[in-house]
Amino acid sequence: MCKVSYHLLPSRSYRSIGEARLSEFAFIIKDIEAEDIFAVPYEFHSICDDNGFYFSDYFYRDIPQTDDTMFIEQSIYKNPCDKTYEELSLLLRQGERIGYTSLDSEKDNIYAHGNDAFIALSSSCLPKIKEYYTKRYILESSNYTEFERRAKKTYENLVFHPDAFKSAEKLGRLADVIIELDRHLSVLNRYGRKAYRDGHGEVNAF
């Protein structure tokens, strides 16, 4: 499965971040690190919010120390990134799987951040962002060999017959059939095991 690299954005207002949001953000980091990458550009620490405060001003002066805040602090300092935000934006335009996250919570879900990047402000955002990048990953396959390699990472619930992709080549040019192939394989990947179990009772035979 393709990994998404989520980079922490500076807050627009550190002092508006309450304890409830900090607790939620700790869960966001844990959910990101379960499958993807959490990273903090060095530049993050040198950018102040709209009121002139830096992360360090807020984090070490204004909030009580809890398990959540200690986890956030450890995560921020153990995951440095030497790319600037401008460099990340360039990599994004070049097709890298880059997302962002933030301590702010002014949006309920996710929203576009230029050129199809997304900001994850709640854990419920992550599967949607993952699905977007996974779909893009498979649909960017340029030939059947590349499609085979990527398919085995994308459709993790499927086991492919050794000759499966040789048969697929008979369908014609990959560019002409890739959307239809992805549609069928995505359905099998998501519902195939359940369908087989409901019909035959032995999921291991699928």
pLDDT over threshold 90, residue 38: yes
Residues 98 and 160 both lie in one domain: no
Q: Can you give the residue range of the structural domain that contains 122?
A: 5-129
pLDDT over threshold 70, residue 150: yes
Residues 122 and 152 both lie in one domain: no
Q: Is 193 a member of any domain? A: yes
Residue at a domain's end among 80, 103, 129:
129
Residues 125 and 151 both lie in one domain: no
Phi and psi torsions of 105, nearest 5°: -140, 35
Torsion angle of the four alpha carbons 173, 176, 179, 180, in this order, in degrees rounded to the nearest 10: -90
The answer to whether 195 and 158 are in contact (CB under 8 A) is: no
Q: Is 184 a member of any domain? A: yes
What pLDDT, in 10s, does the model give residues 78-134?
999 999 999 998 888 777 888 899 998 755 444 444 445 678 888 887 888 888 888
Q: Which of 49, 102, 106 is nearest to 76 (CA)?
A: 102
Residues 119 and 156 both lie in one domain: no
Residues 58 and 108 both lie in one domain: yes
Mean pLDDT, the chain, integer: 84
Q: Is 189 a member of any domain? A: yes
The per-residue pLDDT for 27 is 94
What pLDDT, in 10s, does the model give residues 182-192?
998 988 988 86
What pLDDT, in 10s, does the model give residues 157-173?
888 888 888 888 888 88
The per-residue pLDDT for 172 is 87
Residue at a domain's end among 129, 157, 182:
129
Q: Is 134 a member of any domain? A: no
Q: Give me the number of domains the chain comprises.
A: 2
Residues 19 and 102 both lie in one domain: yes
Residues 13 and 94 both lie in one domain: yes
Question: Averaged over 172-199, what is the pLDDT?
Answer: 82
Residues 120 and 45 both lie in one domain: yes
The per-residue pLDDT for 67 is 93
d(CA 125, CA 113) in angstroms, rounded, equals 14
The per-residue pLDDT for 201 is 53
pLDDT over threshold 60, residue 11: yes
* For the chain, percent of residues with pLDDT exceeding 90: 36
d(CA 81, CA 99) in angstroms, rounded, equals 14
Residues 12 and 100 both lie in one domain: yes
Residues 145 and 125 both lie in one domain: no
Q: Is 30 a member of any domain? A: yes
The per-residue pLDDT for 205 is 41
Q: Which residues of 39-57 are buried (b: 16+ CB within 10 A; e: fewer)?
A: bbbebbeeeebeeebbbee
Phi and psi torsions of 116, nearest 5°: 70, 20
The per-residue pLDDT for 156 is 82
Between residues 60 and 201, the one the model is more confident about? 60
Residue at a domain's end among 74, 103, 129:
129
pLDDT over threshold 70, residue 198: no
Residues 41 and 101 both lie in one domain: yes
Q: Is 135 a member of any domain? A: no
Q: Please classify residue 123 by burial: count the beta carbons closer than 10 Å to its beta carbon, then call 0-12 exposed, 13-18 middle and 19+ buried.
A: middle
